[in-house]
């Protein structure tokens, strides 16, 4: 196989990828031209300054999340007090209790299935860990631990 054949094969394989990349780029440039308002102002400011708008947006997002922590703590306290006071029971229609029971049972079952899947994926077993005095330990001598 000569070099020219390899180059032709690489170009043939890369052409659809580069065409797709160029189409995405053209679409992005077109959408940026039609951007308006505060976003367009920020884009132009960051282009003029030579900084990265995405990095700044990520920093702003993280800073906002830290600012929201006290609000989330307050909301959690309010919801806990609402739940503990029993006010939520007044919103439930007693004649429709079976619907609420079905929702709760479905939620608990989904929670259990997720737990079992994570146990199975994490440990590759649903059985409890073996203790040093377990009778099953003898069998482990004959199994491949890498499987």
pLDDT in tens, 18-66: 888 899 999 988 888 888 888 888 888 988 999 998 999 999 999 999 9
Residue 137 has pLDDT above 80, yes or no: no
More confident residue, 55 or 124: 55
Asked whether the beta carbons of 114 and 108 are under 8 A apart, the reply is no
Residues above pLDDT 90, as percent of the chain: 31
**Is pLDDT above 80 for 16?**
yes
Mean pLDDT of the chain: 85
pLDDT at 105: 92
Domain ranges of the chain: 52-91, 92-147
Check if the beta carbon of residue 53 is closer than 8 Å to that of residue 43: yes
Query: What is the mean pLDDT of the segment spanning 95-105?
Result: 85
pLDDT at 36: 82
Give the pLDDT confidence score for residue 64 in this predicted structure.
95
- How many whole angstroms separate alpha carbon 79 and alpha carbon 42? 38
Using 50, 70 and 90 to split pLDDT, how confident is the model at 76?
very high
The count of residues in the chain is 147
Say if residue 133's pLDDT is above 90: no
Dihedrals phi, psi of 3, to nearest 5 degrees = -65, -40
C-alpha span between 59 and 39 (Å, rounded):
16
């Amino acid at each position: 196989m000569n070099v020219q054949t390899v180059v032709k094969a690489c170009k043939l394989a890369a052409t659809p990828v580069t065409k797709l990349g160029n189409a995405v780029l053209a679409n992005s440039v077109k959408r940026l031209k039609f951007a308006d308002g505060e976003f367009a102002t920020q884009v132009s400011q960051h282009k003029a300054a030579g900084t990265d708008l995405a990095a700044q947006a990520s920093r702003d997002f993280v800073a906002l999340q830290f600012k929201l922590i006290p609000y989330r703590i307050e909301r959690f306290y309010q919801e806990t007090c609402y739940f503990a006071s029993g006010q939520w029971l007044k919103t439930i229609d007693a004649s429709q209790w079976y619907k609420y029971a079905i929702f709760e049972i479905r939620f608990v079952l989904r929670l259990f299935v997720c737990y079992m899947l994570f146990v199975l994926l994490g440990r590759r077993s649903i059985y409890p860990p073996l203790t040093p005095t377990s009778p099953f330990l003898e069998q482990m001598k004959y199994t491949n631990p890498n499987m």
